[in-house]
């Protein structure tokens, strides 16, 4: 086999691996329709993203054992965001994509107990143990936030704020990207920082 043919074969194999990786981990695009999904939340009720057309929806990927998540829950930052969002008619959905046997995996009873202990107030918690929803959105970290507007368009994806640490003392100094995005949406304005870098623990997907 000539070196040219070898290079072509290598390129084809590499392209195949990249295509497979892309298929396995999608990447939701800003200002495009948010990827639709069906799920069952911890109370056993079916949930379809399309049912929330007409409302702003926040998707929050979480892992209760991640120190970055602990920072935002123990300080009250995320619970306060959830409550403020609910008061303004925003639907806040927690998503747990940790696979069975991996850090952060929970059953329905544990998820409900954790939310009660942390004074959390999501509209629903989705257990995505197969990682299907997480991979559909390209969720990478906990926390990782995605915001869908009333028209069903993805208008924000990224980190919760501007200081990527697990230190609660940094919260007052940080720019809260999620609060700013929701304020812009309420005002009918484009989200100024629509894509930011997520930070936290890697999502513990299956495989």
CATH number of 27-202: 3.40.30.10
153 vs 52: CA distance, rounded Å = 12
The whole model's pTM is what? 0.87
pLDDT at 26: 64
144 vs 198: CA distance, rounded Å = 6
Q: What is the mean pLDDT of residues 125-143?
A: 97
pLDDT at 105: 97
Break the chain into its structural domains and give their ranges: 27-202
112 vs 121: CA distance, rounded Å = 10
List, as own/partner pairs, every contact residues 189-193 make where C-beta atoms lie below 8 angstroms and the sequence separation is at least 24, other chains included.
Answer: 190/155, 191/147, 191/155, 191/156, 193/158
Angle 77-87/67-74 helices, nearest 10 degrees?
A: 60
87 vs 15: CA distance, rounded Å = 48
**pLDDT tens-place string over residues 8-63:** 333 333 333 333 333 345 679 999 999 999 988 788 888 899 999 999 999 999 99
State CA 111 to chain mean position distance. Answer: 16
Q: How confident is the model at residue 167 (pLDDT cuts 50, 70, 90)?
A: very high
CA distances from 147 to 6, 110, 127 (A): 45, 26, 19
Residue of 35, 204, 30, 18 lying closest to 136 (CA atoms): 35
Q: Within a 13 Å sphere around the CA of 2, how many CA atoms are in the beta-carbon half?
A: 3
CA distances from 7 to 3, 18, 130 (A): 6, 16, 37
94 vs 82: CA distance, rounded Å = 10
β-bridge pairing 124-127 and 91-96: parallel
pLDDT at 176: 98
């Amino acid at each position: 086999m000539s070196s040219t043919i070898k290079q072509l074969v290598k390129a084809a194999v590499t392209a195949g691996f990249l295509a497979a990786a892309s298929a396995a981990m999608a990447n939701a695009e800003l200002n495009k329709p948010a990827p639709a999904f069906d799920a069952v939340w911890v109370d056993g009720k079916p949930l379809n993203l399309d049912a929330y057309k007409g409302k702003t929806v926040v998707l929050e990927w979480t892992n209760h054992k991640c120190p970055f998540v602990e920072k935002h829950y123990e300080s009250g930052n995320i619970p306060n965001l959830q409550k403020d969002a609910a008061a303004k008619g925003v639907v806040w959905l927690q998503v747990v994509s940790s696979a069975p046997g991996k850090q952060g995996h929970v059953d329905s009873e544990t998820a409900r107990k954790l939310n009660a202990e942390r004074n959390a107030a999501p509209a629903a918690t989705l257990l995505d143990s197969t990682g299907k929803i997480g991979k559909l959105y390209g969720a990478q970290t906990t926390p990782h936030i995605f915001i869908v507007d009333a028209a069903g368009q993805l208008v924000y994806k990224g980190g919760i704020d501007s200081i990527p640490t697990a230190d609660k003392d940094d919260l007052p100094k940080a720019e809260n990207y999620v609060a700013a995005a929701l304020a812009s949406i309420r005002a009918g304005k484009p989200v100024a920082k629509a894509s930011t870098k997520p930070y936290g623990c890697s999502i513990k997907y299956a495989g």
